[in-house]
A = this chain, B = another copy of it.
Amino acid sequence: MSGSTFGHLFCVTNFGESHGPAIGCVIDGCPPGLALSEADIQPDLDRRRPGTSRHVTQRNEPDQVEILSGVYEGLTTGTPIALLIRNTDQRSKDYGNILDTFRPGHADYTYWRKYGLRDPRGGGRSSARMTAPMVAAGAVAKKWLHEVHGTTFTGWMSALGEIGIPCEDESQIPLNPFFAPNAGIVERLEAYMDALRKAGDSVGARIEVRARGVPVGLGEPLYDKLDADIAHAMMGINAVKGVEIGAGFASVAQRGSEHGDALTPGGFASNHAGGVLGGISTGQELVVSLAIKPTSSIRSPKPSINRAGEPTVVETFGRHDPCVGIRATPIAEAMLALVVMDHALRHRAQCGDVHLPIAPI
């Protein structure tokens, strides 16, 4: 109820702070009988973890996950799966200077006003470090969905600042530090980031996520539509400021004669809907797009106030991502997987076995 649990049937409760002893999550509701070990989870954590290129924070966290419960002889038992990741590279002294001041664009001010106190070390609970357990839980959901429904999740960066990144070849995504589906543009992105880092500034990004092989019929009218829950999941990722499904904001200027995807005996003729009609999956690809704001922690000094309300200047010296969007791709995939997983179970509860996607329809 205090917002640290995601999902209704595949429930993930997240805990931890950037510089506390550990972070992690508890998954309650995972179906029994899924083969699961740390090796199923670690690869996605490794895709998200810091310190993997010069374009992301240099904090060095191995993010090694330990399964504490819910697995017996390599199979999930149906009981809670607790996942633990110890923090190892805390340098809390880096943050001494922000104890008393509020960094612009950060949650410092709002946490302090909400709770009357706050953990200033690395942003405490508001740190993007909290997305590691999301990624870990997402890996479990991905595995189940893949085994049962053949569902896959793929994300990429489609814009870095003002540079659009056309999706030319998805196989390139894992081969560059930007999750760019486009080998030709990587050099330009590298140069762009180098200049930005030199300038002590940061920039936004746009991320695409797709789910393929999603069963028809997932999503609950009225409020918990599949796209509504996707929007909730995506906007809940740190730094996200916008979410689109399918045609998104482009649908404002579309005509109905153009937007409505025709059905043919061979399947839908287009996918402006982005895989959701009336809040329920169509069996087509889920098409989701996110706007990620520029990191607020920048080296350039910025005017602010302190807790007494007096003017001051904030300079941030900790280790930060000049573009948080770079590491956002595996996070967005994971959150999308959690939404689909939860709705797969919700659907099964009410309607029995989930209908597999069929071709032509």
Interface residues of A in 287-336 (CB under 8 A from B): 291-298, 300, 302-305, 309-311
Whether B80 contacts A2 by the Cβ 8 Å rule is yes
Across the interface, name the chain B residue whose C-beta is closest to A126. Answer: B278
Would B255 and A78 count as touching, CB distance under 8 A? no
**Interface presence of A61 (CB below 8 A):** no
Q: Are A204 and B235 in contact (CB under 8 A)?
A: no
A253 neighbours in B (Cβ, 8 Å): 159, 161-162, 203-204
A215 to chain B, nearest CB (A): 9
Chain B's closest residue to A294 (CB) is B256
Instruction: Tell which of A40-48, A172-180, A344-352 binds the partner.
Output: A344-352
Contact flag A13-B5 (CB < 8 Å), given A124-B72, A204-B253, A280-B107: yes
- Tell me if A185 is interfacial: C-beta within 8 Å of chain B: no
Q: From the candidates B222, B246, B250, B298, name the one contacting A130 in the complex (CB within 8 A).
A: B222
Complex Cα spacing A300 to B227, Å: 27
Known: A82-B15, A114-B217. A294 touches B1 (CB 8 A): no
CA distance A105 to B224 in the complex (A): 19
- Which chain B residues border A282 with CB–CB below 8 Å? 109-110
Q: Is A171 an interface residue (CB 8 A)?
A: no
Q: Which of B1, B20, B263 contacts A69 (CB 8 A)?
A: B20
Q: Which of B203, B223, B236, B238 contacts A14 (CB 8 A)?
A: B223
- What are 18 of the A-B contact pairs (CB < 8 Å)? A4-B28, A5-B5, A5-B223, A21-B68, A23-B69, A77-B119, A78-B350, A79-B221, A104-B262, A105-B260, A110-B280, A114-B218, A161-B252, A223-B233, A257-B300, A265-B310, A269-B303, A348-B348
